[in-house]
Amino acid sequence: MTTPLLETRGVWQRFGGLIANSDVSISVGAGEIVGLIGPNGAGKSTLFNLIAGVLPPTQGTIWFNGENVTQMPAAERCQRGIARTFQVVKSFETMTVIDNVIVGALIRNEKMRDARRKAHEVLEFCGLAPRADKLARDLIPSEKRRLEVARALATEPKLLMLDECLTGLTPLEAQSGVALVRKVRETGVTVLMVEHVMEIVMPLVDRAIVLNLGKKLVEGKPADVVRHPEVISAYLGD
């Protein structure tokens, strides 16, 4: 087996007495779309934070592209090719759409002219080109989600982590979000996505990993995972 692009080994995260991640080991291969699912409070966003470097794990190690990144600051992980969106949209509301994306593009481009060119290319890719000069705060919710994805893509990641980027969208908007994720993967970017709308995420992912109460419950092909009795009871108990 080839080395996975991303691996967490026995990762724990404690917040005082609360255990948000408990001995979580996952791996994501290059080119995969992996779904991270589980009920509210399962520890999905926490795991994203640990992988992105927002906080160091209480215990365990995180490996990216063969390198131990456990103690590496978030900005350096971004340089290595890890990008993520936030469950709560974090764009710069009073900046224009294009400027938001330029912020991401400046990570790979020293010259403003190059960053701007890259940002326009990414907006085009994300279907936001007509909104380039709007203020981020004037976008509708589905466009704000796309802007988050665009900002992340502008950093030219190897791994794109999406935290509920399809949640709260209309079915039509969610379908076009799904199409965008597929298009991202076609460019060679690996995708790890948190999503709890099963009907949307299951047809999209190659593999699903289920977290419940901070622990990995099951992982496997979507069709097998949804039939798993423990997954069914975790969701019904939600």
Residues 46-105 that bind ligand ADP (CB under 6 A): 46
Query: Which x/- pattern, by CB under 6 A, does the window 143-182 give for ligand ADP?
Result: ----------------------------------------
**What interhelical angle do 141-153 and 171-186 show, nearest 10?**
10
| Complete edge-to-edge strand list for the sheet that includes strand 6-15 | 18-28, 6-15, 59-64, 67-68
CB of 57 to ligand ADP, least distance (A): 13
CB of 40 to ligand ADP, least distance (A): 5
Q: Which helix (H) or strand (E) holds 26?
A: strand 18-28
CB of 85 to Mg ion, least distance (A): 12
Residue 209 site contact among ligand ADP, Mg ion, none (CB < 5 to 8 Å, cut-off depends on kind): none
Q: Which helix (H) or strand (E) holds 135?
A: none
DSSP string, 34-101: EEEE-STTSSHHHHHHHHHTSS--SEEEEEETTEE-TT--HHHHHHHTEEE--SS----TTSBHHHHH
Q: Which is nearer to ligand ADP, 2 or 40 (CB)?
A: 40
Asked whether 166 and 200 are in contact (CB, 8 A), the reply is yes
Residue 20 site contact among Mg ion, ligand ADP, none (CB < 5 to 8 Å, cut-off depends on kind): ligand ADP
Query: Which x/- pattern, by CB under 6 A, does the window 9-48 give for ligand ADP?
Result: ------x--x-x-----------------x-xxxxxxx--
Residue 205 site contact among Mg ion, ligand ADP, none (CB < 5 to 8 Å, cut-off depends on kind): none
Give the binding site for Mg ion (CB under 5 A).
44-45, 87
Report the C-alpha gap between 191 and 188 in whole angstroms: 9
The verdict on 238 binding ligand ADP (CB under 6 A) reads no
Nearest C-alpha neighbor of 194 from the set 145, 236, 161, 148: 161
State the residues that interact with ligand ADP by CB under 6 A. Answer: 15, 18, 20, 38, 40-46
